[in-house]
Structure 1
Amino acid sequence: MRIALKALVVLLVLGLTAAFAGYRYWQLQLEAPIAVDEPVLFEVAPGAGFNRVVDQLEDSGVLESGWAFKLLTRLEPGRVPSLKPGEYRLEPDMSGLDVLDRMANAEVVTYSVTVPEGWTFAQMRSALNSAEKLAHDTEDMSDDELMALLGREGEHPEGRFFPDTYVYHKGVSDQQILSQALRRMDSVLADLWESRDEDLPYDTPYEALIMASLVERETGAPEERDEIAGVFKRRLERGMRLQTDPTVIYGMGDRYQGNITRADLREATDYNTYVIEGMPPTPIALPGRAALEAAVHPAEGDTLYFVSRGDGTHHFSRTLREHNNAVNKYILNR
């Protein structure tokens, strides 16, 4: 009887030891580093279940013991996460559990597209069309079709999208980026218009947007934005034409090849401020926040002219005589 009891105890101890060893081995498989030598991308498809993802990870060589993770569904179903679809970066120092946690927390790979201040809307569309992993749903649409899609039918797109860096993940639609940029410009412009100076020679937020685009395109040195806006403000108040070269360039469209001739300055386009009175009918670029601030808070002063020094800054003048001397110094002599 005692021998049988001892044998039973021994068997029980051996069984518990084997069970513990088996459990520990299973845990080690879950915690083991994944089988990659360098970062790799892995995509979880929409609707993919836990076991299917484990199979795909094993088939692709990322996991060596897929069985260990499938066993979770039976032994510890509470530890089985719901995996979110998307593209994930898997790195050599990660364990299989780390991989599943990343997928459960939707820590997807992100990309970005940058739209610099002063770009035109055409340049923005070109950047979106070439952005990697972005869904180019609007690529074949005209500007009119795109604005209608965004709920702005009949509106000219130039200037209405805020220049910034936009972050997205694989499969996001370019429409989403455009919608985000449109709302952002609406918000920034509305906030700044509320705090505008009282004596502006323009009456609507859209006119301030047009002015901001002129300031943006004329500015090479950020600290000059409000002074340039001040010159434009005073010229409008006195009924002087704005005579700003970027409007000539914008009116030329694809014909512009890097130089403006005297004939170009005299050409009657809707945008040529050497010919038309006041501001052009639409913005000529995508202005950033600083240019918008300058448009609603132009600098006080008495300068009416400016000319480029050739280094990104401008010489500002009060009189036409002083301006002509500056033109001779900085442009004709050069």
Structure 2
Amino acid sequence: MWRHIASNFLTLLIVILVALGGLIAWGKKQYDGPGPLTQGVCLRVEQGANFARVSEDLRAKGAISSAYIFRVGASYEDKTSQLKFGSYLIEPGSSMQRIIGQITAGGPSTCGTELNYLIGVNGQQMILRELDAATGLYVEAAKFDPTADTAPEGFAAAAGQADVRLRVTLVEGATSWRVVEALKAADFLEGAIRAVPDEGSLAPDSYDLRRGSDRAALIAEMQRRQSAILAAAWEGRDAGLPYDTPEEALVMASLIEKETGVPEERTRVASVFVNRLERGMRLQTDPTVIYGVTGGKGVLGRGIRQSELQRRTPYNTYVITGLPPTPIANPGRASILAAMHPDKTPYLYFVADGSGGHAFAETLEAHNANVARWRALERGQPQQQGVQN
């Protein structure tokens, strides 16, 4: 009888162990397998929230199948004390394990409200956007220039939320003076900028920040990124370029940046400048004349006068030979790479073609014909940039 009882107990134990193993396997699949969410949702983790509250919120949103398994998984990975407040985009099919990784890693909010301070060539704008989690697209809620306009109604409350994502975006071609003046007007930043950074030393890019971030530290990060981009590009440059230092290449990149906004034209514009330098021809590019007049402080706002084309400044490439002494703006990565890898072309001239791009020419005769076509198109329009004769 005892043998029979022992046999039954052993059989029952095996059944229990098999069932327990199956339960564990099922729970593991629920935890690290694809989640039930079919479209993205925003999860807002409040200050002082705990995993119990967050797990119930996720279950209510349909992002997880079991709040209990979610909490057990967080405890097993020893992350229950690492919850970070903020707004998180939970993508379709996200596993519990992935969600826990998101909400314990911290960093900028990936959902909800975003305040992007856009610093452009001609000015700056505060852009308030809300992420539609279902589509993954941002919906613009407000836009204004903080140096000239009054903030729209409701802007302060929306932008002042603790979990709003703050970002500064520097556009290619803005001058260092423009950047400093714009950052002074950003009321979510703190600290002074003691001097305008060297022209060209700031990397056009997007910078995630926290409220109260230091302006000088942001400038330093812009310089660090630009220095790294320039060093890497210089290391891989083409042989035989007519500039001897990374600094000269940065000057060239700034000319390319200011001459064309058409991505596929950058290396072709670079080839024109390289060809002219190699032949000892003056670059004769309008943006350098403008920089010599404005010093990079604001925009000219009108056509270049004949007297300005003839005035000797260190930047007037109609008068000086070779490159100007410094960059004339902060060029982006693409223009820096174009300066390091120009096309091989016979072109010595280019002029606007009326489509947003340029017409290129090898000879002065062909260039003059292109100029005549452009002038026939531009009747009454502002003077455009281009390399003249």
Q: Name the TM-score class by shorter chain.
A: 0.5 to 0.7
Q: Is the 8 A contact 1:113 1:127 kept in 2?
A: no
1:214 matched to which residue of 2?
255
Whether 1:234 and 2:288 are equivalent positions in the alignment is no
TM-score (norm 1): 0.65
The unaligned stretches of length 5 or more in structure 2 are 1-42, 50-77, 89-100, 109-162, 379-389
The unaligned stretches of length 5 or more in structure 1 are 1-38, 45-49, 54-77, 91-100, 148-156
Whether 1:112 and 2:200 are equivalent positions in the alignment is no
1:189 matched to which residue of 2?
230
Identical aligned residues as a percent? 43
SS of equivalent residue, structure 1 residue 287: coil
Q: Distance in 2 between matches of 1:41 and 1:257?
A: 48
Q: Deviations over 1:164-204 (max 9, x none)?
A: 11110111111121111111111111111111111100010
Alpha-carbon shift at residue 259 of structure 1 (Å): 1.3
Q: Distance in 1 between matches of 2:321 and 2:362?
A: 21
Q: Distance in 2 between matches of 1:41 and 1:82?
A: 12
Q: Is the 8 A contact 2:354 2:377 kept in 1?
A: no
Q: Is the 8 A contact 2:348 2:362 kept in 1?
A: yes
Whether 1:312 and 2:366 are equivalent positions in the alignment is no
Q: Deviations over 1:132-164 (max 9, x none)?
A: 4121x124x332xxx5xxxxxxxxx10011101
Structure (1 or 2) with the larger CA radius of gyration:
1
Q: Distance in 2 between matches of 1:299 and 1:231?
A: 9
Q: Deviations over 1:271-320 (max 9, x none)?
A: 01001110000000111111011101110010100001133200001111
Alpha-carbon shift at residue 220 of structure 1 (Å): 2.4
SS of equivalent residue, structure 1 residue 307: strand
Q: Distance in 1 between matches of 2:228 and 2:102?
A: 34
Whether 1:138 and 2:182 are equivalent positions in the alignment is no
The structure in which a higher percent of residues are helix is 1
SS of equivalent residue, structure 1 residue 128: helix
Instruction: State the Cα RMSD in Å.
Output: 3.0
Q: Which amino acid aligns with 1:270?
A: P
Q: Deviations over 1:10-41 (max 9, x none)?
A: xxxxxxxxxxxxxxxxxxxxxxxxxxxxx999
The structure in which a higher percent of residues are strand is 2
Higher relative contact order (CA 8 A, sep 6+): 1
SS of equivalent residue, structure 2 residue 207: strand
Q: Is the 8 A contact 1:121 1:285 kept in 2?
A: yes
SS of equivalent residue, structure 1 residue 300: coil
Count of residues in Structure 1 that have an aligned counterpart in Structure 2: 241
Q: Which amino acid aligns with 1:292?
A: I
Q: Which amino acid aligns with 1:302?
A: P
Q: Distance in 2 between matches of 1:331 and 1:175?
A: 46
Distance 1:80 1:258, change over 3 A: same
Q: Distance in 2 between matches of 1:114 and 1:324?
A: 39
1:123 matched to which residue of 2?
178
1:291 matched to which residue of 2?
335
SS of equivalent residue, structure 2 residue 213: coil
Q: Distance in 1 between matches of 2:237 and 2:79?
A: 56
TM-score (norm 2): 0.56
Q: Which amino acid aligns with 2:363?
A: T
SS of equivalent residue, structure 2 residue 258: helix
Whether 1:203 and 2:257 are equivalent positions in the alignment is no
Alpha-carbon shift at residue 102 of structure 1 (Å): 10
1:302 maps to which of 346, 355, 359 = 346
